[in-house]
Structure 1
Amino acid sequence: MMRRVLPFIASLFMATPLASPISKSMATGVRTEARTPSAKEMQTAFYEQNLHSLYQSLNVEQQGLRYDVFEKAMTGYLNLKQDQKLGDKQLLTVVDFSLPSTEKRLWVLDLATKQVLFHTLVAHGHNSGENMATNFSNENESNMSSLGFYVTDSEYMGKHGRSLKLQGVDQGYNDNALMRSVVMHGADYVSEDFIRQNGRLGRSLGCPALPMDQYAQIIDAVNGGTCLFINGQSPTYSSQYLNTELAMNAYLGGTQTTI
């Protein structure tokens, strides 16, 4: 695929010359000299073109999933795959807590078939905020949501019924998730009826709680080592899995699923 696409990308660079020394003065007319793009520039263009193409194929922009959030989620997904932390399912779950709880802000994406399997409501932690989640914590009994990348773990029956354990992989941001019992589970306060009555969703003790009519199907889909990314408005959050260079090299190296 790279051999087929790179000549096309090179032609785009040739058609739109990059900055280079001006060969003539303004008095006599300006002419720029086109140059052949480097292999690195062509690889970057190829990777970004495929990422944008996937975003468009999933048709998630009209559902409210911004490209910058999608790009971060995909970067982490590719890096986690490269580190062999994920299973065989090519699924990516994105939660965007920069959106209000009254909006559907969870997406389960099938990257193999380029389909949105679920797009639904999801609750944040009680102490993270009212309708908007603005505070996040990795501390036990903080009753706040934790940002970052997770890998889905095993299921169990708990006080909320069927639940899915989440392994936080961002040290200092969500790696206490298992100890805090931050899990996926169903909750009756995650519904359109609750929003109509209260102006927002109910809130959890830090779990990404799901609607009762969908939580079982979502757990069925995403269990067994799939990637979950929880995004939020935090100036301090960082992650080793947001290394774009490594993600691009992993993808171009052919070790990952086709974008």
Structure 2
Amino acid sequence: MIYQSVIITFLLFIGIFPNPRLTEKTSQPISSADPVTLSYEGLKGERGSLPSKEVFTLAIQGWTKMQDKLKSKVLTVIDFSLPSTAKRMWIIDPEKGEILLNSVVSHGRNSGELMAKSFSNQPESFKSSLGFYTTAETYNGKHGYSLRLDGLEKGFNDQARNRAIVIHGADYAREEFAKSVGRLGRSLGCPALPSELSAKAIDLIKNGSLLFIFGKDASYLEKSSLIKA
């Protein structure tokens, strides 16, 4: 099947299979396209519900580099270049090519209104932080069931735990809120999810998976070592 060929070719890219020669029986050699493109095109979902290829590519580059340090193969992608009214968070199983969950997600109150335009790693900035994180332990706090995050990129998000940047549910992060106000409500920097979806999302990604938050920030895009091919 074409889908199986896509997955096998992607696994070649991350070094699981040693033989680089793989062709489809009914089409052109599959090796004529790069593995990230094949992986992206193999994602199950409507085109409107997929992350952009640009953001997916950056996320996969980091995911590939972090393989040996991850306990879970699940990859979460958040695209803060999209408005908060868009479903801009995806939980993906890259090896199966499946989108497990697609949802709206809030950004920090000082990052912007409808659009997140400013980012910070500083405590009390109340801004979102870009880059790669690993998911850590769950706990029950003032927002209920929540998930701690550890930032992996010095200077961009390594203060996440000190800042109590976590994934949690919030009524202001629900689509109904956005319909009445014109945007989602905003957090103190946490990627907050709709209250009815947060527990499901947390259980999918907790305990050692990778999360990538993208934003249009020249400094991050230039300096991050994890998004370099």
Q: Would you say same fold, with TM above 0.5?
A: yes
Identical pairs, percent = 44
TM-aligned CA deviation for residue 57 of structure 1: 1.3
Partner of 1:131 in structure 2? 114
Task: Report the TM-score when normalising by structure 2.
Answer: 0.85
For residues 101 and 141 of structure 1, the distance between their equivalents in structure 2, rounded to whole angstroms, comes to 22
For residues 203 and 3 of structure 1, the distance between their equivalents in structure 2, rounded to whole angstroms, comes to 47
**Cα contact 2:75–2:92 (8 A) shared by 1:** yes
Unmatched runs of 5 consecutive residues or more in structure 1: 13-44, 245-259
Corresponding letter in the other structure for 1:5: L
After superposition, give the CA deviation of every residue in 1:57-101 in whole Å (9 maximum; x if it has no partner): 1145432511110000000001111xx3211x2210000000000
Structure 1 residues 36-185: aligned runs within 5 Å: 46=31, 49-59=34-44, 61-81=47-67, 84-87=68-71, 89-185=72-168
2:224 matches 1:239: yes
Corresponding letter in the other structure for 2:118: N
Once superposed, what is the RMSD of the aligned Cα atoms? 2.0
Unmatched runs of 5 consecutive residues or more in structure 2: 1-16
For residues 178 and 192 of structure 1, the distance between their equivalents in structure 2, rounded to whole angstroms, comes to 28
TM-aligned CA deviation for residue 193 of structure 1: 1.1
- CA 1:3 to 1:116, structure 2 compared with 1: closer, same or farther past 3 Å? closer
- CA 1:210 to 1:3, structure 2 compared with 1: closer, same or farther past 3 Å? closer
After superposition, give the CA deviation of every residue in 1:162-187 in whole Å (9 maximum; x if it has no partner): 11000000100000000000000000
Task: Report the TM-score when normalising by structure 1.
Answer: 0.75
For residues 198 and 3 of structure 1, the distance between their equivalents in structure 2, rounded to whole angstroms, comes to 52
After superposition, give the CA deviation of every residue in 1:211-238 in whole Å (9 maximum; x if it has no partner): 1111001100100100000000111103
Corresponding letter in the other structure for 1:196: K
For residues 206 and 47 of structure 1, the distance between their equivalents in structure 2, rounded to whole angstroms, comes to 42
**Cα contact 2:175–2:194 (8 A) shared by 1:** no
Bigger Rg, structure 1 or 2: 1
Indicate the structure with greater helix content: 1
**Cα contact 2:135–2:149 (8 A) shared by 1:** yes
**Cα contact 2:74–2:93 (8 A) shared by 1:** yes
